[in-house]
Amino acid sequence: MTWSPTSIITGILSYSVDGVPVTKSVTRETLVNENYSGHFGGGIHETDTGCADPSLNGTLDSIGVLDIAQTGATLTMTGASASGSCSYAGTLTQFGQMGDVVGSFACVNGANGSFHMFEFQVTEFSMIGRFTASYNFPAGCEATGWFGGLKVTTF
């Protein structure tokens, strides 16, 4: 039996039964929609490239808090760290236990654009995920990275 992923949500399963080859396309099955709402303390790792101002290219790691509110498939998030705060709004699609959110963001420093969070998972105590972002401002910046945090109540 072999498994060949074709994306983060699909793949090809191949096997043989009594010498007869079988190939199946497989997609993550959603049994229940997750609730991503919560107050999280954690960190983010981000790499920025392609910025019109080359001094903005580079990698940053920061710690902060992320508040997530979910109503149906609508997700709103507010993230705050030492470098400022940003608001994110998007639509959640569930693929098995993985969430996928596409939307737009705006930051207090004027940065704004679109984002895509994927492989987004939540448990009773934590959340993790990966992301890409395309900035309208600052011009040309493209971001990739990952984030994670623990559900907290005291900060």
- How many whole angstroms separate alpha carbon 118 and alpha carbon 52? 26
**What mean pLDDT is reported for the chain?**
94
The whole-number pLDDT of residue 32 equals 83
pLDDT digits (tens, 9 = 90+) for 10-38: 999 999 999 999 999 998 888 888 999 99
CA nearest to 27, candidates 74, 93, 75: 93
The sign one gets for the Cα dihedral 45, 50, 52, 53 is: positive
In CATH, which of 1.10.3470, 2.30.110, 1.10.287, 2.40.128 is domain 38-151? 2.40.128
The whole-number pLDDT of residue 28 equals 80
Q: Where are the domains of the chain?
A: 1-29, 38-151
**Other CB atoms closer than 10 Å to residue 68's CB: what's the count?**
21
pLDDT digits (tens, 9 = 90+) for 49-102: 999 999 999 999 999 999 999 999 999 999 998 889 999 999 999 998 999 999
- Count of positions (residues) in the chain: 155
